[in-house]
Structure 1
Amino acid sequence: MFFIYNIVVLCLIVVLLFAYIRCQKKKDIIRQKEFEANALKEKLNNSYDCIIELVKKNDPNFLNKFQEAYPNFIKKLLAINSNLSKSDLIFCAMIWLGLSSKEIAQYTFVEHRSVQNKKHRLRKKLNISSDVDLYLFFKNLSEH
């Protein structure tokens, strides 16, 4: 009887040990994934900051860097209207980044009214009604 009791206790210890090891492995995987996610967030934040600096300088490399950081956005825009010009894509990227009309005007050296007109023309090209927030439309476009 004592022998059976020892075997049961030993089996229970082995099962608990396996459960503990399995739990630790899962925790290690979770920690690793959290580390990777944080690294990606930091990289994305650095990319965002770099892209904003390119916008502020009206740098010609802006669109290329934007496409590297957010590749699906431009593809989805071109799927809606493949005839969008490079200028249109740059403008859309600036809106996607959340720049106000005033900021876009400042960084592109145009009048505020010109930015408003460009938004209106862009709505027509992309068939977006005037009651739809352009900023939200672009953010939602990149999420789907």
Structure 2
Amino acid sequence: MYKPQNNGKMSLEQTACEDLKAFERRLTEVIDCLQPATQRWRILLAIITICTAIGAYYWLTDPHTSDVSFPQSLINHPFFTTSSLMLLILFMTGIHKKVIAPSIITARTRLVLTDFNMSCDDTGKLILKPRPTMQQVSTS
């Protein structure tokens, strides 16, 4: 029968390994949870952008646009006006950050992990880098 030599306590390396695995699981979980919401924000932004572009095309190609005042031309083209206002509101509420939220988190995590000689991929999996040798440290 096998008996642990350290009375059931984990070594420092085992504890560090378990901590890294837990951190990696949590990081991948956070990134995975953000993906569906990010996808929905991207779809919404694409739809509103396309609607604004189509509305702008009809607004600019309307022969009466140059004959009337700017506010009247906007009233004459409610599709363009509404989609433009919606696009403006989306950007004011931070959609440009919401569509890249996982990228922001991974970039900030990579920045912090460089202090520990690690990195992570876009899904949150940790990448352990080789330890720098004394020669590499002295030449840096």
TM-score normalised according to structure 2 size: 0.35
TM-score normalised according to structure 1 size: 0.35
Q: Relative contact order, CA 8 A, sep 6+: which one is greater?
A: 2
- Structure whose residues are more often helix by fraction: 1
